[in-house]
Every structure is written in C-alpha cells, then in structure tokens.
A and B are shown apart, each in its own frame.
Chain A
C-alpha cells in the first residue's frame, strides 16, 4: 500500500510542536523509531516446522520459534483451522476456538479410554484437597448437584411416562 505523503517534512508546520518528552510509554519503551522501517530486522533462524502450526492471518508467516505442544487434531483441530481464517479482531476467530477447546475435552476423555485409562475426575479436580480443607463446602456442592440431577431425572422420567 502506498503512503499518500511521501515526504511529510514538506507539509507546512510539520513537527513544529513535536515534544520528545511527550511519551507515555517511558520507561517501558526505549523509543528508537525502529518500527518506521517496518518488518526489517534480521530475523533469528527459522525453527524447522515439524508439526502443524496455525498462524494469525495478521502476520505473514510463522515466528522464528514456536511451541510444539498439542498440534491441532481431530474435530477440535478442524474447528481451529476454520478459526484461524479470521483475524484476532473478529469473534469468528475466538468463538470457534472456545468451541474447539470444549470439543477437545471430550476428545481427551475418549483418548484416555482408548488407551485403557479411566480418568479419575475427582482426583483431577483436586477434591482430596478440598475434602481436607473445606469439607462442608464440598459436601454442600455435591448435595446441591445431586438434588439438581435427581430433579432433572425425575422431571424427564415423568414427561416420558406421559
């Protein structure tokens, strides 16, 4: 894209009120105006691309290094690939990613079962610690959930009976 004003110093009044002290980013940012040259720095060597890595459509390519944890796979992976067609500024990006996260929880349980491992949900949720330190609150929560589930089961059973 072409800039409209190629040489702004020719514009009448250019820079007359410039004040280098007017910089709210100090001391976080050591201003050097390097970004005026664009994406021009010498980039570190590229990490070999050994797994599928999705990248934001707001950048031209992968960064020089990246994480290789849990590449996209299965149904959640397919949803993530769709999400990355949209920019970080769009709900079209973030909402599918949240959906994919929930789908991957189900995939995780199925993976566990496939490997002969039945996940111990109570241990994973740290209920042992809660039993030790806040037993009453844990029991109350279990009771409330048991009542809600029983009520729901009773309601749907009675509807089916009718």
Chain B
C-alpha cells in the first residue's frame, strides 16, 4: 500500500509499505478515505518529538471504511464508514472508565504520561498512522464511530481531533456567560476554540497570532476580534489595556511548542531543543489572564522541562487546566452541533492533496504557503 514515510526532520515521502494486518482480537483494518495533516504533526516533522523513528507513518486525523475485523470486534461491520478519534483507548482501564479516553493506560507501553495516539512517534505508542491507504485500528469497538449518512466526510474527518480539541479547550476554560476569552493561536484548533468559546457563553473573544490570512479567517469564522502580535508592542499589555487593566477571564494556549514571538523561547525550545518547545503562547496566557483566572492548554509540548512563569501562576491564583481531548466523550454532542449547523468545520479545509504529494502538503502547511489553513490528504481509492 502507499503510505507516508518519515525520513528525518523536514523530509517525508510516499513509499510502498506492507498492508497492516490484524494483530489483536479487538483490531480492525480500515481503508482510509480522508486523512488530515495536523499542526501537531509539524512537531514530528520538525524532529522535535523524542523517539520519532525514521520509517514511521504519521497521521492521527482520519476516516475510513472497515475492511477487516478481529474476532473480538462486535460493534463494527465490514463496509462501515467510520471516523477514528486520534486517541487509542481500551475502554476498560480506570482512566477510560472515568471518561479520560485521551489518557488510556493500556495503549502506550513506551510512556505513562500519554496514551496511545495514531502515527505520533513511539513516545505515543509506536503506531503507524492514517496518512496511508490502510491503517490498523486497535480497540475498534471503543472509539471508532459510524459517520451519520447525512454528514459530509470533510466534517467527519475534522471531528477526529480539530473540533473536539478546540471544543475541549473552551470547555476547560470554565467559561461563564460574559467572560472575556483570549485564544493564542489562529491555527485550525485555535480558530475552533474561538468559535466554541461562544457556545459556552463568552461575552468577548479575542484571537492573537502573527499570520495575517489566518487572523482574517478567524475574524470571519469564529467570529471574533483578531490581532497580529507583531503590530502590538506587547500582547500582555495589550490584553490588560483592553480589559480595564484586570486581564482576561480565560486564556487558551492553542499553539504549543512551535510558537513564534520570543527570541529566547525560540532558541531554547525550537532551535536547541533544550526544553519541551517554545512556550511563548503559554507565557503570554499566564501573564494575560486575570487573578483567579483560568488558563486552558491544548497546545502540544515535549516531555521535558519548559520555561514558564510559574511564580505568576501561584501569585495570581491561576487555575491551569490541560489535556489531550477526550474525543469519544465529546463526540455525541459535537456530532449534534455539526448536524444542527451550529458548527461548520469543513470550511477550515483549504487544500485537498493526493496522498502521493504528501511532501508538498507538509511543506505548504508547515511554511503556511498559499493561504493554507487545513490540508487533507486523499488516497487513490478516495479520489475515484
């Protein structure tokens, strides 16, 4: 089968690899119909996630048709078109039982701090991902969800990660009616977080980034205020000025390790890899939120120590909430929102690229070329 093949930092290509097989009674093999490149794939692409091995196939946002199931799979039938949440969850461990499907304890032997994730290095379990023609899907009865017939497949693929992560970012903010919410990052997840903040009753939503076309998109789509941090002297002072000097009620970090905006953070976190990423957005979030406010983190960081103003967290009495999105928990509500037209995620997709051109797709997304917000890869069988 054709599959994306990681060859080292900034180098990916498509190769022929063996088609995956059933390795466990609860496995399914899925023929991919859509597969996105996620902003967090860029951490792998840039070589900043430890234990990212040459030869691996990335991709944790995908939909597909069930082609084969293990003997223990009861809920899926051959031919079912499913959306596959990015978390691999057993449904039986204590964490899954508590709804923490992003923190499963039976899917990742290599690390205890993160559950299994498709195509996300050996630090997240060593699974090949969905940027391929076929994928092995463990615990197939737990998370994969039938795509409703009336649902656009482009909406479905964004329900595997972007929508739930953006929604959970807003949910973790504990937003109360009238609150001012600041979202750092105008990537797909940041835009979705800004959109979802309104669902929780926000009174004002502000997005901060430095990519003009994305700010423009956020302004129209969320809809919200959107500012380029390069045009304001200091984003923290700007937020204070615009909130009566008190700070925002809720700040959301939807950037993570690849943040721009601070030379020190960039050198330590992105160039020298001496910390778990450039925590510029988190730094601004902590300093922009009001005393007693809430900082919600969905931006991805590496597993080592990272330079943040933790003293201000203590002194301001900030509550920090963070997690990988628990996609399975959120899906019923989010499917409802999409079907009722409350959320329209497919608009985020700006580029449709044949799987064979994966190297170009990564470059376009990574370098923010051609007005790219979200690229989706289409395997040959999905193009006929």
- Among A44, A48, A130, the residue within 8 A (CB) of B139 is A44
A129 and B363 contacting across the interface, CB-CB below 8 Å: yes
Provide the bound-state CA to CA distance between A7 and B284, in Å: 45
B100 touches A67 (CB 8 A): no
A64-B8 in contact given A69-B56, A104-B54, A130-B369 (Cβ < 8 Å)? no
Residues of A within 8 A of B139 (CB): 44, 65
Contact for A28 among B128, B302, B326, CB less than 8 A: B326
B362–A104 CB distance below 8 A = no
Are the CB atoms of B126 and A53 closer together than 8 Å? yes
| Per-residue contact bits, chain A 84-98, to B (CB 8 Å; 1 contact, 0 not) | 100010010010011
Instruction: Give A74 to B9 CA distance when docked, in angstroms.
Output: 19
Question: Is there contact, CB below 8 Å, between B110 and A70?
Answer: no
Cα distance A88–B113 in the bound complex, in angstroms = 8
Given known pairs A44-B92, A124-B11, the reply for A130 and B98 (CB within 8 Å) is no
B107 at the interface (CB under 8 A from A): yes
Partner of A63, one of B116, B319, B326, B369: B116
B interface size (C-beta, 8 A): 71
Near B by CB (< 8 A), chain A positions 117-157 give 119-121, 123-130, 133-134
A126: contacting residue among B128, B303, B323, B364, CB under 8 A: B364
Taking a contact as CB atoms closer than 8 A, the residue among A28, A64, A129 that contacts B99 in the complex is: A28
* Contact status of A41 and B97, CB under 8 A, knowing A65-B139, A69-B126, A125-B359: yes
Shortest distance between the CB of A99 and any CB in chain B (Å): 9
**Interface magnitude class on chain A:** 35 or more
A20 CB-CB contact with B under 8 Å: no
**Residues of chain B contacted by A41 (CB below 8 angstroms):** 92-94, 97
Q: Within the assembled complex, what's the spacing in Å between the Cα atoms of A161 and B172?
A: 65
Complex Cα distance A7/B13, Å?
60
Residues of B within 8 A of A64 (CB): 24, 90, 106-107
A65 touches B7 (CB 8 A): no
Q: Which of B9, B108, B321 has the most CB of A within 10 A?
A: B108
- Contact residues of B between 308 and 323, Cβ < 8 Å to A: 319, 321, 323
Q: Report if B240 contacts A (CB, 8 A).
A: no
Question: Is B112's CB under 8 angstroms from A70's CB?
Answer: no
A44-B90 CB under 8 A given contacts A65-B138, A134-B369: yes
What's the Cα separation between A83 and B113 when bound, in Å?
A: 16
Answer whether residue B226 sits at the interface, using C-beta atoms and an 8 A cutoff: no
Q: B51 near A97 (CB under 8 angstroms)?
A: yes
Query: Is A9's CB within 8 Å of the partner chain B?
Result: no
CB of A66 within 8 A of CB of B108, answer: yes
Chain A 18-58, CB-CB to B under 8 Å as 1, else 0, gives 00000010011111101101000111110110100111101
Residue from B25, B107, B109, B304 within 8 A of A45 (CB atoms): B25
Whether B51 contacts A66 by the Cβ 8 Å rule is: no
Is B47 part of the binding interface, using a Cβ–Cβ cutoff of 8 Å?
Answer: yes
Task: Please measure, in the bound complex, the distance between the C-alpha atom of A32 and the C-alpha atom of B323, giving whole angstroms.
Answer: 19
Asked if A4 is an interface residue, CB under 8 A from chain B, the answer is no
Using an 8 Å CB-CB cutoff, how does the interface string of B11-51 with A read, 1 for contact, 0 for none? 11100000000011111000000000000000000010011
Pairwise interchain contact B9-A69, C-beta atoms closer than 8 A: no
The verdict on A125 contacting B53 (CB below 8 Å), with A65-B138, A66-B109, A67-B122 known, is: no
* A80-B51 in contact given A29-B100, A94-B303 (Cβ < 8 Å): yes
Complexed CA–CA distance, A47 and B125 (Å): 13
Q: Which residue of the partner chain, among B27, B50, B168, contacts A94 with CB atoms under 8 Å?
A: B50
Whether A128 lies near B360 (C-beta < 8 A) is yes
* Contact A65 B97, CB 8 Å, known A43-B92, A125-B363, A127-B363: no
A-side interface residues toward B, CB under 8 Å? Answer: 24, 27-32, 34-35, 37, 41-45, 47-48, 50, 53-56, 58-59, 61-70, 76, 80, 84, 88, 91, 94, 97-98, 100-102, 104-105, 107-109, 119-121, 123-130, 133-134
**What 4 pairs between A and B have smallest CB-CB spacing?**
A126-B363, A67-B126, A67-B127, A105-B8
Interfacial residues, chain B to chain A (CB-CB below 8 A): 7-13, 23-27, 47, 50-57, 72, 88, 90, 92-94, 97-100, 105-113, 116, 122-123, 125-128, 138-139, 168, 171-172, 273, 302-304, 319, 321, 323, 326, 329, 359-364, 366-367, 369-370
